[in-house]
A and B are shown apart, each in its own frame.
Chain A
């Protein structure tokens, strides 16, 4: 009888365990949830935004998360995506490499932003000896797009053989492709947008960190922000830190929130405050309307695009309508993802911010 009883109990316990073994979507335990109306945001305008995104399936916006004054006030996903979707961040990835560099400097892996790149790429020592001007390239030059390396990204089509993005994708070693480009102008002199320079920053960090760059991001950077799930594309052994990171929209908003708080993650200084401030300050004036920090974009003082009383907005941008906006004077973080790479938007992420989210506050 004892044997039978034990068998019955085993079956019962098995049934019990089967009852609650569903996979659980992760909750966010970072911000309290608040109704936007409680923070003086116009909920009707936000509902209009939600409808506008929903009724235009080809506009390319796949999710929106809004954090206002430390509370999650809006979160929605569109066209089959949900909270657990890892969205391709495209060029927003490069702004994340700014975060990685800040952490590497705090950990002593990299001396400072003024340090020369060549010290961290020993495999290419001969290249630096052959072209000593390249020894002057610092991490700050990389982050302000003033490396001086010849680069042709936006003046030709992306599918053309003259385009460096296409050519680096086809190359076997992305670091080698970048570092062997000729010097066009003295480092630090001229802004020339090069989407691939985060690859050099990642290579430098990887040479200093034993477990590799992906592990560095997981353990030392994103792990400190409770970001536990992300992906980084790998092209034939080349880690694409430049435009290959995928992440959930909530996790992307956490990154924005860290910058809003100047590196202070709920009482813990995760990244040096001065570094965070310098990262989003104007470091380069690109044209009449746009400025650039350290891998972060800004609207120039000439731009009145957002019609705000204070021009302190900084943002990370991707080519597929991905945006991470931070508006410090409004204590606002807006993460928007998209997947439209056909450039045929009629409702773009900047207009989502301007016409709906900021409009709901004013």
Chain B
């Protein structure tokens, strides 16, 4: 419920911000510029907390940029750092893996300068899976909802290449699986995205 409410607030806020920005932009940019399709695809590295350790995830992120400021796209990440192991159900040891994907929306400053700051949120669905260590077979799993709120900064390397550093907080809901709870996944995260696309 908390996740849903936060998601709704951010979506509304970004929608209003986008609307307002769109109006001011109209005095600065020609209509042709505004209608130009911009966007990017990027590789993501993220480090986030899954209590009691930190985990690494890699993934993809892609978005289209509307009216220079509003981005809308998707992301997907897979936990790949195989150090989360437990003797979950005696006598076997298990490896935890998780992945999540969803929609990405954000308000971003127009990347005219080398550095620009952005506010972004991601809302998605994910899956936690315990794999039996000996066989690698999935033993049990559960789906969850996830919501991110993050700040990021873009650094434009070339016309088509940018590096983005981000940090934020994430909330998890609906996770009900042996050995893990929503609280284990909630917390701060940070990472980088290497973006390839049309920004200006």
Interface on A for B, CB 8 Å cutoff? 1, 4-5, 8-9, 12-13, 15-16, 19-20, 22, 24-29, 33, 35-36, 43, 46-47, 50, 72-76, 82-83
Contacts and interface: CB of A to CB of B under 8 A. Distances in A.
Interface string B12-42: 0000000000000000000000010101000
Given A1-B37, A12-B74, A83-B139, A33 B88 contact: yes
A253 to B, nearest CB: 13
Contacts of A22: 127, 129, 138, 141
Contact of A15 (B76, B91, B127): B76
Contacts of A26: 140
B62 interface: yes
B22 to A, nearest CB: 15
B124 interface: yes
Contacts of B127: 20, 22, 24
B169 interface: no
Interface in B92-147: 92, 99-103, 124-127, 129, 137-143
B64 A5 contact: yes
A9 to B, nearest CB: 7
Contacts of A46: 90-91
B80 interface: no
Contact of A25 (B87, B88, B99, B140): B140
Given A5-B37, A9-B64, 19 more contacts: A13-B74, A13-B103, A15-B76, A16-B76, A16-B124, A20-B101, A20-B126, A20-B143, A25-B140, A26-B140, A27-B141, A27-B142, A27-B177, A35-B90, A47-B91, A73-B90, A75-B89, A75-B90, A82-B139
B141 A25 contact: yes
B37 A4 contact: yes
Contact of A12 (B73, B140, B179): B73
B140 A83 contact: yes
Contact of B100 (A20, A24, A75, A82): A20
Contacts of A74: 89-91
Interface in B122-181: 124-127, 129, 137-143, 176-179
12 contacts: A12-B74, A13-B74, A13-B103, A16-B102, A22-B141, A24-B141, A24-B143, A25-B138, A27-B176, A33-B89, A73-B90, A75-B90
